[in-house]
Amino acid sequence: MNIGYVGLGALGAELARRFLPGHTLRVWDLGQAARAKFEGSEAEVSASAAALARDSDVVLLCLPRSADVRQLLFGEGGLAQGLSPGKLVIDQTSGVPAETAAIAGELALRGVAMVDAAVSASPLTVHTGAATLMVAGTAEVVDRALPILHAITSTIMRCGGRVGDGQAVKLVNNAINAVTRLGTLEMAALGRKAGYSLSSICATLNTGAARNQTTDKMLPALARGEASTNFALSLMLKDLNQAVDLGMLHGAPMPLSGLTRSLLQLGLNTVGEQARLEDMVGVMESIVGVQIAAESSKAAAVDPHSLPMLQMALAALCRAVTLECVMAGFKHGLEMDVMCKVLTQSSGWSGAGATLLPSLAGYEREVPAPLAPWVDAQRKTAQMSFRCAAPTLMSTAVHGLLEGAAAEFGAQADLAHLTELSARSAGVRLHLDRDRQVPVR
């Protein structure tokens, strides 16, 4: 099989290398430095994008944004000049679903098939073959693409019959990941300013419904004095912009994602265009006024029994952001069972999502839980932030959501009412059956 790969950045280069030595691989990139990394390898560096397309049966793309994909395909000297009927394009860009669908329609008029196969992985994860791919397109074309994509990973999730739905699921996943990341850093910074050690904060937050990708990987790495990611902050901001835009397009409010988007923009404006996602640790430290990784603190612990309260506040954030993002995805047309399968196995996972998502997908009934203790934890977290002079923007936003649900449904309110309020805000109907709340179209 003649494979062409275009877009040889940190992620794209590793994705391309997965096709060696089993396939004939041709590569190309706008940047000479990126192309040079493949010179002398088993891959052939093509003279142009059009030449790569002419010599390849399948062309894969991993570019910064959908506008770049359109330009590379249809611009002067672009791929389309070498794409003949019967060829296949696989877009691995973290793009805009509607724009990707439009590109697929234009290619179809030329007899060229297309699927999107969004990637959930770091370059290192791709290198080891442990990436997750979110693939969408007609069943016939996806079936054709699967043997090719299996060269990258065995973890491939079909996300729908519309090209672009794989990207939409990734946007939902990345928004949840970003919100829980900053929310976790905020709770860790508050705990540090209250006098707790980072090791004790890690041990507490990394349990139960609060456990998430950041408590599992980033906080322990900070405690060891190590970096946990080398992802560009600008790319995460791009994903958040696109996720919030997806919600606005369908009238689904995403307050936590919007707040996180603003914090990421603040971080990029402060640190500069070369900022990495890891730099948000310093930004959050600056906002709260404490060093998260330092084990010494001038402040004494406000309350030796307050750590479980911070854990519950973070768990509420994990639940609230999962709700707002899946409701936006559902309004876009994504199936709840697809989001359940992807979000429980990708970087957007959390302990809260692990119980909430199967219930929303109709797989199992979630155990009822009163809302009052969750509201109480948010109130006490706010009071701690007052005493410690520590701004808690993320927690304050969640506090407002929980107080709203408590006011709406009264003393008997439980977590299911938070789901009902989130669905109502997004304009999603819920089907109630034996205490299950399943969104319906």
Domain spans, the chain:
2-163, 171-440
Say which amino acid occupies 277.
L
* Paired sense of beta strands 2-6 and 24-28, if any: parallel
Q: What is the CA radius of gyration of the chain?
A: 23
**231 versus 396: which is more confidently predicted?**
396
Phi, psi for residue 420 in degrees, rounded to 5: -65, -40
Q: What is the mean pLDDT of residues 70-88?
A: 96
Integer Cα distance of 166 and 118 in angstroms: 6
Which residue, among 57, 128, 66, has the nearest Cα to 91 in the 3D structure? 66
Which residue, among 308, 332, 349, 291, has the nearest Cα to 120 in the 3D structure? 349
CATH class label, 2-163 = alpha beta
- 196: tokens are 């707790």
Q: CA angle at residue 324 from 318 to 328, to 5 degrees?
A: 140
For residue 70, the tally of other CB atoms under 10 A from its CB is 18
Which residue, among 142, 183, 137, 187, has the nearest Cα to 162 in the 3D structure? 137
Say if residue 432's pLDDT is above 80: no
Mean pLDDT of the chain: 94
Name the helix (H) or strand (E) containing 269: helix 255-271
* β-sheet bridge partners, residue 178: none
Say if residue 30's pLDDT is above 90: yes
CATH class label, 171-440 = mainly alpha
Instruction: Give the per-residue pLDDT at 424.
Output: 94
**227 versus 254: which is more confidently predicted?**
254
* β-sheet bridge partners, residue 117: 135
The tens digit of pLDDT for each residue in 12-25 reads 999 999 999 999 99
Q: CA angle at residue 161 from 179 to 136, to 5 degrees?
A: 50
Q: What is the mean pLDDT of residues 36-60?
A: 96
> Confidence class of residue 296 from pLDDT cuts 50, 70 and 90?
low
